Amino acid sequence: MLPLAIGAVLAVMLMTWAVVLYNGWVKGRNRAKNAWSQIDVQLKRRHDLIPNLVETVRGFAAHEQETLESVIEARARATAAPDVRSTARAESALGGALGRLMVVAEQYPALQANDNFLALQEELASTENRIGFARQHYNDSVMDYNTAIQSFPANFLSGSFGFTEETHFELTDEAARRTPAVAF
């Protein structure tokens, strides 16, 4: 009778441990997904600002068509990116294109004095900061989740329950690692 009771207690303890692990993994995965949603919101905000910025610059520097088109194309690629890695690459390219657009804008004093352009620059700078904070939060959430599913002894069970590593949101282009220059 005693061995049966000990076996039952051990089975209950093992099941409790598995449930706690499983719920922790679900919580970590959901935190990472929520953090990605926050990045997505900020990226959409950025993407929504870009057409207005391009049109404002176009009004003053219409002959800079190549630069304007590169920003528009980079934005289109960024909005269509299907996953974290693709989004990171597309956002890196978009950041570079925005940086080139800002260099062009600096060549036009009338544009630099335009209230609409200044407001868009301010909004873009604010959005870039929000993206940076959201990316940091996402990467922290992913790190916590990945650590939880990779740690011993949980790593023996996590894969069998379908928990796989999430991808960090990392900028791939060294030039894009720098915040686009936004001059006031």
The residue among 21, 49, 35, 58 whose CA lies nearest residue 135 is 35
CB count within 10 Å of CB 142 equals: 23
Domain boundaries of the chain, sorted by first residue: 2-177
Kindly report the pTM of this predicted structure: 0.82
Q: Which class would CATH give 2-177?
A: mainly alpha
What's the whole-number mean pLDDT along residues 129-140? Answer: 96
Distance CA 97, CA 135 (A): 20
- Model pLDDT, residue 176: 47
pLDDT at 182 over 80: no
Across residues 13-42, what is the average pLDDT? 96
For the cut 70, the answer to whether the pLDDT of residue 163 exceeds it is yes
pLDDT exceeds cutoff 90 at 124: yes
